[in-house]
Structure 1
């Protein structure tokens, strides 16, 4: 996956829904469904488009990690 993340001083990079779909290897439709049910990463409206802050995606991915077997939760 090649994204066009350009560093803008002071601003967090954002992913489009297509870029996030490719990164997570899930269909765009799944991302829309997760968003409606509150299960996916937080999104930002930029005009009519959805964007995902990279820091929010990182936090969401970290929250999805399972505990190793036998570890207390």
Structure 2
């Protein structure tokens, strides 16, 4: 059984500091991490959001040892 947590936009905001309205906008335009409707609510899987954050770090990282 999958034990992944389902996050709403406000949870994603608490996790990342990115406003909930931005998460909802990204879902509307098909950008950002994948989301889906669970009943009437838009949700993101925690594992998907964490993978998206890791990808953002890899793609935008600057500095550090060569």
Q: Which 5+ residue runs of structure 1 have no aligned equivalent?
A: 1-9
Whichever structure has more helix as a proportion of its residues is 2
Q: How many residues align?
A: 63
Q: Which 5+ residue runs of structure 2 have no aligned equivalent?
A: none
Match of 2:34 in 1: 42
Deviations 1:33-63 (A, max 9, x none): 2223333111121011011111100111011
Check conservation: 2:9, 2:21, Cα contact below 8 A. no
| TM-score for both structures, normalised by structure 2 | 0.73
| TM-score for both structures, normalised by structure 1 | 0.68
Higher Cα Rg, which structure = 1
